[in-house]
Structure 1
């Protein structure tokens, strides 16, 4: 692999006013940055870093860096999910709806499809832009679920939610489940394997014509937390996602229908997760909207005296706001009303900062 330089936005500022030529807008959103960390890599390893001001950056761009710079500073197109348009110039909430008996946080909560669909409708009413329906737990140690069982769990719920006008995604890594879910009304595919688990998943998603989320992972859910190791987790996840985007495009999925997720907690320890969150803005240079799911994850417990999953709301909100500060467009959460409120307050700060002084 040739030596190259990655661009990570940093030096975020509240307002661009009075800073002409010194700040840039991040991915068409509400965030502005004044500095770029230049991360030099060779053979997938970081060799040097340097901070550069925005005023100097354009004179230093080679062709690869110029492509990254264009991606960093270009607006993300809205998601068209059926009849719904989801704007990505501000963070949007994706509500987690697990129709499973063994999900780490809320497995077994919903006894039937009607109860699950009602819960999803409540999430939409509370401000979730998308409801993400999953029928297979991918928590650490989870076992694979047969496609037939997974379809039976998710399809009735998706059909009810989509019929009620909600924007619905399906959380699955299996092609047959994708097909059944889309036929039932799902308008987005959230694949935690980034189309590596099922060899038919890429062509299935391409044929469906719906947006997809490609998530980084390492290992299978049953074993992914068995001592995960990285030489440089931020760089390695970036390069892996870059490859998966290229593979999805080669399969016929348009780039403007691809979202990326760094895979918080999927084959990563606490330090890895925190490093990814600190460097999250790097992934904007891949040119795809960023989805982030840290809600109630074990890292929060590890940082808060081993608080159980149902007592991790405050930590989940901290991660949601950290993601918003770095321009993440889709934030996947269990606690929808609380997260929506937190992001409304965050949005108030941004709106005030972006209101010109008379």
Structure 2
């Protein structure tokens, strides 16, 4: 880890993340089923609360492909879901305007993960099991071979296999191995909006997390979490951002996403002041299809790559760790990794010619 832990320079910091099974892809639904179990196991082993059930309100154009796919996948996988209609929406979800033509459903068992706490817990359990965390130590070189040689600002290490999970710095490290992936790093403005009446959207009042698949302001996702980490402030964010250099991200000052959010909040969340009270930042590392990369290096199968989590990877953390471990040990992965191969990018580039 190149920075001193804990830090806010990457993609995993912050107090909360949404945890959900509401996906349009079956493979993500199945991975999340295992991930929920592993988060629960970690809670039990460490004696720490990491998950809070809030439910997830999913809204979007009722006849759109994505909305219908999410609805179908939840129902087909027997995941508890409540379908709302325009007549009963405000009875269940007060303080939110449901757009004309939009459907709404609540994934009952979804909620939030206490992200910073989860990181501390994972690191603590890792150390209890004999693992060593070396922070404030930047990787400066990776030399492939039967033994992979990793040079850092503090020393040189060798191992039979190496797993690279460097987030926005993935390509900088892969350059040493002769590989570049089509990853785009974007800066995300993490916005918190003040309640006009304190408690309106509070987690203690069982207000749900939410995702809007698309709306009149944008075709991109907008998502939010109930007021929790900052009393009286609800987190609502735009699920993409502007390209940035991870080492210079503070120079990226584009606010076009905040303009979109202001219009959305003013229209759909009348109980919030439509001007962010707090703006923080993080980074996403996007793949062209927003699917993960979980694969071996195409030329060096003892270098394993986990990357391109595209702003929705945190909740998968335990199962991703397990899969990367299986790859590094030469075991058969416990989930089908064909959606996450590096080879798919070659097929994409050919099809776009």
Q: TM-score, normalised by structure 2?
A: 0.26
Q: TM-score, normalised by structure 1?
A: 0.25
Name the structure, 1 or 2, with higher relative contact order (CA <8 Å, separation 6+): 2
The structure with more radius of gyration: 2
Identify, as 1 or 2, the structure richer in strand.
2
Identify, as 1 or 2, the structure richer in helix.
1
